[in-house]
Amino acid sequence: MLFKQQAWLRQKLLVLGSLAVGSLLYLVARVGSLDRLQPICPIEGRFGGARGQAEFPLRALQFKRGLLHEFRKGNTSKEQVRLHDLVQQLPKAIIIGVRKGGTRALLEMLNLHPAVVKASQEIHFFDNDENYAKGIEWYRKKMPFSYPQQITIEKSPAYFITEEVPERIYKMNSSIKLLIIVREPTTRAISDYTQVLEGKERKNKTYYKFEKLAIDSNTCEVNTKYKAVRTSIYTKHLERWLKYFPIEQFHIVDGDRLITEPLPELQLVEKFLNLPPRISQYNLYFNATRGFYCLRFNIIFNKCLAGSKGRIHPEVDPSVITKLRKFFHPFNQKFYQITGRTLNWP
Ligand SMILES: *[C@@H]1O[C@H](CO)[C@@H](O)[C@H](O)[C@H]1NC(C)=O
Ligand SMILES: *[C@@H]1O[C@H](CO)[C@@H](O)[C@H](O)[C@H]1NC(C)=O
Ligand SMILES: *[C@@H]1O[C@H](CO)[C@@H](O)[C@H](O)[C@H]1NC(C)=O
Ligand SMILES: *[C@@H]1O[C@H](CO)[C@@H](O)[C@H](O)[C@H]1NC(C)=O
């Protein structure tokens, strides 16, 4: 009897023991797999590629990023800023557009990279005369605190279509990197319309139907005066930018693909920005309820983009869609040709 009890006890202890060892092993494996997914970058951890800059301590940055996050939640005191050598840096890259192309999603996703710090707000420095008149120091003070080795990125989609912006950005930094995220032009135009419509509905105002705005009722042709149409003629805007910047300073992001398959698009951006590849599948998980990817920064912190980002578009007369697609077609071809990126739009 006693023997039996002892055996039972021993077995129980064994089970408990193996459970403990099991969880420990699980934790080790878990941390290990995190490491594998977010490797330290001993070789490729060089920022700026061949320009021979100092080693880029990404792992330390990953940790410090948590600190930055804490700072941002509260108020960063002068003491903390000094203690951690925090700085407010002018952006090294700007997402200049396109409105409704997915600029917010792109910014948030790039922010997964430990070497990237995003300016959360659209600053509208270069497109707004009043802001621009306040000077570059005003702009810099709008930037988030970062570690000197990090790069700051801001996005203001109005930059892409505003006449004065290329020259102004050129004056700040003629070798800055410019990101443009685009979607199929007709879809983008309808999405643009939908956002304006929502604003009107909120204010209880009536609004025209998309068809009426997009098609000139006198000529039955596409109405090129309508802003949502004009914004989608990407090549026209890009050509203005090319008077200041060579095409090598631009990178085109496929906004339609960023939604369905974000990782390869982000990896192209990492390469363009000379960042070591650090965004992995671990950082992006599909939320079936939303039908969108959400972002996972680490085991504790994740984030889904705001719900309004998946607006339902109104139904648009198919003949109008056909007409718009035909209209955009030659501009799209030109855009592919200039940028070297073919996007298979209809
Ligand atoms: C941050 O500063 C503001 C204004 O100085 C103050 O009202 C607020 O309580 C501070 N927040 C924290 C978390 O310290
Ligand atoms: C201008 O932008 C380039 C590209 O991001 C960067 O390498 C360079 O340091 C920037 N120059 C200044 C003065 O910020
Ligand atoms: C919106 O307009 C309708 C019709 O004019 C009116 O009955 C309604 O009270 C308005 N609602 C709001 C929130 O203003
Ligand atoms: C998925 O999306 C739903 C609906 O927006 C949200 O309630 C839920 O928290 C999300 N789940 C995860 C794991 O992000």
Kindly write down the DSSP assignment for every residue of 199-257, as one continuous string.
Answer: HHHHTT-----HHHHHB-TTT-SB-TTSHHHHHT-HHHHHHHHTTTS-GGGEEEEEHHH
Smallest CA separation from ligand 2 atom 6, residue: 92
pTM listed for this prediction: 0.81
Phi then psi dihedrals of residue 98, to 5 deg = -105, 150
Answer whether 254's CB lies under 8 Å from 344's CB. no
Q: What span, in angstroms and rounded, lies between the C-alpha atoms of 299 and 282?
A: 10
pLDDT in tens, the chain (346 residues): 455 555 555 555 454 445 454 444 343 333 333 333 333 333 333 344 433 344 456 766 766 666 666 666 556 677 777 777 889 999 999 999 999 999 999 999 999 999 999 998 999 999 999 999 999 999 999 998 888 889 999 999 999 999 999 999 999 999 999 999 999 999 999 999 999 999 999 999 989 999 999 999 999 999 999 999 999 999 999 999 999 999 999 999 999 999 999 999 999 999 999 999 999 999 999 888 888 889 998 888 888 886 555 567 889 999 999 999 999 999 999 999 999 999 989 9
* Ligand 3 geometric centre to CA of 204 (Å): 6
73 lines ligand 1 (CB under 6 A): no
- In this structure, the strands spanning 292-296 and 302-303 are antiparallel
* Ligand 4 geometric centre to CA of 287 (Å): 6
Ligand 1 atom nearest residue 75's Cα: 1
Answer whether 278's CB lies under 8 Å from 38's CB. yes
Catalytic center residues: 100
313 labeled binding residue = yes
Rounded to an integer, what is the distance from CA 113 to the centroid of its chain? Answer: 11
The full set of domains in the chain, from first to last, is: 49-185+228-313 (3.40.50.300)
Tell which one of 282, 289, 297 to mutate to probe ligand 4, the residue whose CB is within 8 A of the most ligand atoms. Answer: 289
Amino acid 7: pLDDT: 56
Tell which one of 71, 75, 77, 78 to mutate to probe ligand 1, the residue whose CB is within 8 A of the most ligand atoms. Answer: 75
Answer whether 108's CB lies under 8 Å from 303's CB. yes
Amino acid 15: pLDDT: 47
* Ligand 1 geometric centre to CA of 73 (Å): 10
Six token digits for residue 223: 């109405």
Rounded to an integer, what is the distance from CA 244 to the centroid of its chain? Answer: 24
* Ligand 2 geometric centre to CA of 88 (Å): 14
Q: Note the ligand closest to the C-alpha atom of 151.
A: 2
